[in-house]
Structure 1
Amino acid sequence: MESDFEDRSLRTSPSVTREKWYKHAVRKLAGGYVLIVNAERKNANFFKPGKGFEMCAYNTARELIRSGAVVQTRMHYRGAQYELADLSLLQEGPLPAPARRDEDDEDDPLIEQIGDLEDSSALEPDV
């Protein structure tokens, strides 16, 4: 008897392409993560101090190594540790930092709306 898992007609294709996983991995590495790959157990993880470990697809990690996007820096107790070789791999460039706003920003539309409400309430008599 064949299980549902083995029935190929019931399987769906992945919703995320390999190219998107590759770009995601490069962005993670550019953000300060390192890649740890264990060839014996065939698993890979991103690691960043303060954040911890995050999963990386083993096929994506092997593709990063094969393409030369990462270089091995040292051995980790979980496997070989890799870092991004060249930041020019980011075609879009690094993600922009969020815009910082001063708390006393006079051009803030929300502050203007509150000011308008205060002005209109001053004109109405209290009943």
Structure 2
Amino acid sequence: MWENLGKSLVNVALAGVGLAALAAEQAGKAGKVLVERGEIAVEQGRKYSEDLQQKMQEDAKRRREEQLDQQVSAMDAQQREQLRRRLAELDELERQAKEMAAQASDAPSDCEITNIHGGPQEDDDQT
């Protein structure tokens, strides 16, 4: 009888250890699944956010264009001519700015740069 009781207690103890090992294994698998699903959810959320932002930008652009069309349509001939002249002036200014930028990028890179920060210059340190 004591022998059977001892074997039963050992079996119960081993079953408990087995149950703990099985629970740990299942928890590890469940953890992996949850992490994977969490990563998927984050990626889906990021993609949804990007799509929503793009749609909002497109909608805002469309509304701005509609407002501009309405404003131009409401102008009389003289106002439209003034607008054309102003746009031509802006185009010319943009062309000049691009030309000046191109000329500036063609300048030699070994130009002397003036110290405008008021800090010590290299020659002053050598005294």
- Same fold by TM-score, threshold 0.5 exceeded? no
Relative contact order (alpha carbons < 8 A, sep ≥ 6): 1 or 2 greater? 1
More helix by share: 2
TM category (shorter chain) comes to: under 0.3
More strand by share: 1
